[in-house]
């Protein structure tokens, strides 16, 4: 069983635990680097890998995209209405659109897309691998099998998950931008110039690059953290008994770290 907290262990073991913790992070970063290098190597893209990637993209994006978009559109519509009505009642409607775009498109939608993709695909994959690891096979054999499967699917999985986050965020962002326009200006095309100026004011080069980087990092985190956790699990079979989804907490932590970093760079 994993100890609940570093504070609960003997202080003499703190150093060892910190070292293991750092090694774990290092392994994750190394795996990410390997996956990226493999993704940019032409020989990786043989027929089997292409098919595998397609399958993952289908599972992580195609199946999810329609109703995720509908869901975010509905929630976005509610938020847009609330913000607009409140802003109008205070006479601040000129700031409402900018606030909506900044809050919804730049922050909330990428974060929720990342969470969604993580729950939908990465964790599901982890669960499959865990199931294999917990099957009747001897621990070593199950571990080896799981690692083999993961290695085979590593690059397709990473790419598919990153793509899923990007697609979900971009599509929902575009839909919410459209909804915001319709809510503020109605069906009239005459607000387009002003709307375009607002969008231009928000998406200055730093914000645009930050938005793109954040979405890509979200995608990589969602793709990498759970896989790294499950691969690492094979090396420490004792942890299999843990009821906590491997990598879930770390993924949450990484996502929050990226979000906080992005906010700090943009607004501080």
Partner 1 sequence: MTTTDQSPDQPAHVEAKAAILLVLMGALIVAFVLYVMYARGVFEPTQRLFLETDNSEGVAPGMDLTFAGFPIGRVSQVELSTDGKVRILIDVPSKDAKWLRMSSVFTLERSLVGETRLRAYSGVLTDPPLPAGSVRTVLRGDVSEQIPRMVASARELLENLVNITSPGSHVDATLANVDTITGRMAGRYGLLGGALGGDVEAKKMLETLDRVNALIARADQRVFGKHGVVDDSQDAIRQLNGLLKDARTTLQKVDSVLVEAQGVAANARTATSDLAPLRGEVEASLRKVNRLVDEINRKWPFAHDTEIKLP
Q: Which stretch binds partner 1 (CB under 8 A): 37-45, 49-57, 137-145, 236-244?
A: 49-57
At which residue do the structure tokens 């990598």 appear?
Answer: 247
49 binds partner 1 (CB under 8 A): no
Q: Per rule CB under 8 A, is residue 57 in the interface with partner 1?
A: yes
Does residue 200 interact with partner 1 by CB under 8 A? yes
User: Using the rule CB under 8 A, which residue among 69, 122, 161, 171 binds partner 1?
Assistant: 171
Q: Is 170 in the site for partner 1 (CB under 8 A)?
A: yes
User: DSSP characters for the chain?
Assistant: ---S-GGGS-GGGHHHHHHHHHHHHHHHHHHHHHHHHHHT-GGG--HHHHHHHHHHHIIIIITTHHHHHHHHHHHHHHHHHHHHHHHHHTT-HHHHHHHHIIIIIIIIHHHHHHHHHIIIIIHHHHHHHHHHHTSSS-HHHHHHHHHHHHHHHHHHHHHHHHHHHHHHHHHHHHHHHHHHHHHHHTT-GGGHHHHHHHHHHHS-HHHHHHHHHHHHHHHHHHHHHHHHHHHHHHH-GGGGG--SPTTHHHHHHHHHHHHHHHHHHHH-
Q: Which is nearer to partner 1, 170 or 182 (CB)?
A: 170
Could you say which of 14, 25, 40, 62 contacts partner 1 (CB under 8 A)? Answer: 62
Residue span 148-167 as binding mask against partner 1, x where in contact by CB under 8 A, dash where not: ---------------x--xx
Tell which positions 71-110 bind partner 1, by CB under 8 A: 95
The residue range among 12-20, 52-60, 68-76, 106-114 that interacts with partner 1, by the rule CB under 8 A, is 52-60
119 is a contact residue toward partner 1 (CB under 8 A): no
Among 196, 236, 256, 260, binds partner 1 (CB under 8 A): 196
CB of 12 to partner 1, least distance (A): 52
Residue 263, interface with partner 1 (CB under 8 A)? no
Q: How far apart are CA 196 and CA 181, in angstroms?
A: 10
Cβ–Cβ under 8 Å, residues 241 and 1 = yes
List CB contacts of 145: < 8 A, sequence separation 6 or more. 132, 137
Q: Is 46 one of the binding residues for partner 1 (CB under 8 A)?
A: no
Question: Is 203 among the residues that bind partner 1 (CB under 8 A)?
Answer: yes
CB of 242 to partner 1, least distance (A): 30
Binding residue (CB under 8 A) for partner 1 from 58, 144, 235, 260: 58
Residues in contact with partner 1 by CB under 8 A are 47-48, 50-51, 53-55, 57-58, 61-62, 65, 95, 163, 166-167, 170-171, 174, 196-197, 199-201, 203-204, 208
């Amino acid at each position: 069983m994993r100890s609940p907290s570093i504070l609960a262990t003997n202080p003499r073991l703190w150093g060892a635990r910190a070292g293991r913790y750092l090694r774990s992070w290092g392994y994750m970063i190394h795996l990410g680097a390997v996956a990226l290098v493999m993704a940019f190597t032409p020989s990786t893209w043989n027929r089997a890998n292409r098919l595998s990637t397609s399958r993952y993209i289908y599972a992580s994006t195609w199946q999810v995209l329609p109703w995720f978009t509908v869901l975010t559109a509905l929630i976005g519509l509610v938020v847009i209405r609330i913000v607009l009505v409140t802003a109008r009642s205070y006479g601040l409607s000129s700031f409402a659109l900018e606030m909506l775009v900044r809050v919804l498109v730049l922050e909330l939608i990428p974060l929720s897309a990342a969470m969604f993709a993580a729950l939908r695909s990465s964790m599901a994959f982890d669960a499959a691998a865990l199931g294999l690891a917990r099957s009747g096979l001897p621990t070593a054999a199950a571990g080896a099998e799981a690692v083999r499967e993961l290695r085979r699917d590593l690059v397709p999985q990473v790419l598919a998950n990153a793509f899923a986050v990007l697609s979900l965020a971009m599509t929902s962002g575009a839909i919410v931008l459209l909804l915001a326009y319709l809510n503020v200006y109605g069906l009239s095309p005459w607000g387009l110039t002003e709307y375009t100026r607002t969008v231009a004011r928000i998406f200055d080069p730093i914000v645009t690059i930050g938005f793109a980087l954040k979405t890509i990092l979200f995608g990589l985190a969602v793709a990498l953290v759970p896989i790294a956790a499950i691969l690492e699990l094979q090396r420490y079979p004792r942890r299999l008994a843990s009821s906590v989804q491997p990598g879930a907490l770390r993924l949450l932590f990484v996502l929050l770290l990226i979000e906080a970093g992005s906010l700090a760079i943009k607004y501080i």
